[in-house]
Amino acid sequence: MEVILAKSAGFCFGVERAIKLVYEQIENNKDGRKIYTFGPIIHNDIVVKDLESKGVFVFEDEDHFEKIAGSILIIRSHGVPKAVYEKAEKEGIRIVDATCPFVKKIHNIVAEHSGNGEEIVIIGDKDHPEVKGIVGWAKGKVSVIKNEQEAKDFKPSGDAKVCVVSQTTFNHLNFQYLVEILEGKGYDICTINTICNATQARQEEAGSVAHLADKMIVIGDPKSSNTQKLFGICKEYCVDTYYIQTLKDLDNVDLQDTKIVGITAGASTPNNIIQEVFLYVRGKKL
């Protein structure tokens, strides 16, 4: 049996940077302040639980920052609305910003273009924390579009120019398709592709590996948006695609008589879990 592990599987730059910042705060917290992350630092329960064991807890009640006044608050990699910074600072909370630089770039784009009177359209999932954060930097009208029907139904609120951006982890082919629908309506549109290059490369590689594989394993937290998209892409090319979080989830996966197994993982999946799955599958005597 051949096992193909995608080279891009695992932590992306933004996630690795965020995790590093948290552990630096743990190590350098000489004055013993309590440490919190605003929402899970990344979408991975294993990582979050490990941080909890080290005294770092999740807090996301922005209406009651007085409860953690004087503490350290680490902004998650997904980013947050501008109002979160302002409310936290009023309570004397020390902010450590672990927002992915690629997400922060979108915040700046949205703030600038909306400040110039442009209407903002975000291609993405309105319920995802990254998108909620981006919405919070718009100074005017903002819409979130996720699918074909929403793109077809979209109408600007007035005659203003429309600036289109994307959630960093959105499927790049779907983004292009939805943009074509919007541009075909004849509105004055400025499109800025803000999908992370690493995300696009990861998605393309996942599709290539799945195309070769008889069975495909996608590793990641069930709540991870980018892992869900990888699973969807792999499923298109390989019917026998399995979404797992840890090695134990392979207990019910039959690899018997499999010639090629492909493995990839989301951007929030620790390398030790990927290697554990890879070594287990490679060691199977089939």
Q: Which own/partner pairs from 54-62 qualify as long-range (CB within 8 Å, at least 24 positions apart)?
A: 54/26, 55/26, 56/22, 56/25, 56/26, 62/38, 62/87, 62/88
Amino acid at 193: N
DSSP string, 239-264: SSEEEESSGGGGGG---TT-SEEEEE
Among 130, 148, 180, 205, the active-site one is: 130
Query: Could you tell me which residues come within 8 angstroms of residue 150 by beta carbon, excluding any fewer than 6 positions away?
Result: none
**Catalytic-residue membership of 130:** yes
Q: Answer whether 245's CB lies under 8 Å from 221's CB.
A: yes
DSSP reduced 3-state for 221 = coil
Rounded distance, CA 271 to CA 24, Å?
19
Residue 279 to residue 265: CA distance in whole angstroms: 15
User: What's the chain's Rg over C-alpha atoms?
Assistant: 21
Residues taking part in catalysis: 130
